[in-house]
Structure 1
């Protein structure tokens, strides 16, 4: 059953607000942080939220003005640079990174926000009738998942840098 355009428009309004809230959170939290990883990561995520916002707004305008979902897939460049930002920051910081409890809490909040966005976009992709709409929400789902996983990695690193290196470098005692 085809979903009415006003419900699609409402979903897009919700998505726009989530992206605005995310960008504001990342800008504010990044500016307050003294930790290099958090500053760089949150700056990059704020930029990504802004890209998402612009693409969603374009589709929203099409849906509300032309009363139709775009017929072509909206290009979403897969954000591969987020992992690079993370890797470069931890290479610079090494095993001696320090993060305050409030900085670690900001990363936890960011994880929750990205998880909520992921769930929302995933449910929208499952409800979409149009292959183009489905592909759009699947692309956003993949983006949010990538953000979430990078934040989980960041949280683990910031909570225990030496332990994170041990885990990721697969060090262990062989008992030999």
Structure 2
């Protein structure tokens, strides 16, 4: 087994777990914008899995390998672009607590993934492996930012709703 093979395999499993989480939670959020984001992120996590799989195959099968070009990432303005159109404020009043809880879980998962990739990059001695993990860390940081921003926005709106009906 090559030096970084196990770390890449672990990262692949993380991406599959992320895919499964987002796919499952897409059916549990009431807000349509959140549902679409979760489905989109499930697809992105699967792209990350395949990205890692391709690089693992290259890494294991060759003396040297290069990183592929960067894949497309999700639109960081997805919530802003859809909020008005999909009447997010009205949906908030009906579905806040479950959606907010799931958004927080998603944000924390993405933060954990980002930190894993940061640590893997810091500990990598091979420059290409380091670049691979740095790339993945940046992608996960973008996902973390999206969820954190939406979680904060939704919490602020929720805390400003009239209490007691």
Interval of TM-score (by shorter of Structure 1 and Structure 2): 0.7 to 0.9
2:107 is equivalent to residue 76 of structure 1: no
Q: Which runs of 5+ in 2 are unaligned?
A: 161-165
Q: Which runs of 5+ in 1 are unaligned?
A: 165-176
In structure 2, distance between residues paired with 1:22 and 1:100: 22
**Any idea what the Cα deviations from partners look like across 1:25-75, whole Å, max 9, x if unmatched?**
1011012222112102111111110110001011122233x15452x2222
**Structural mapping, 1:147-158, within 5 Å:** 147-158=143-154
TM-score (norm 2): 0.84
2:44 is equivalent to residue 42 of structure 1: no
2:88 is equivalent to residue 88 of structure 1: no
Q: Which 4+ stretches in 1 moved above 6 angstroms?
A: none
2:18 is equivalent to residue 22 of structure 1: yes
**Any idea what the Cα deviations from partners look like across 1:51-110, whole Å, max 9, x if unmatched?**
10001011122233x15452x22222352x421322222232354441332221111111
> Does the C-alpha gap of structure 1 residues 94 and 30 become closer, same or farther in structure 2, counting only changes over 3 Å?
closer
> 3-state DSSP class of the match of 1:83?
coil
Contact 2:110 2:144 in 1 (8 A): yes
Calculate the aligned-residue CA RMSD, in Å.
2.2
How many residues end up aligned between the 2 structures?
157
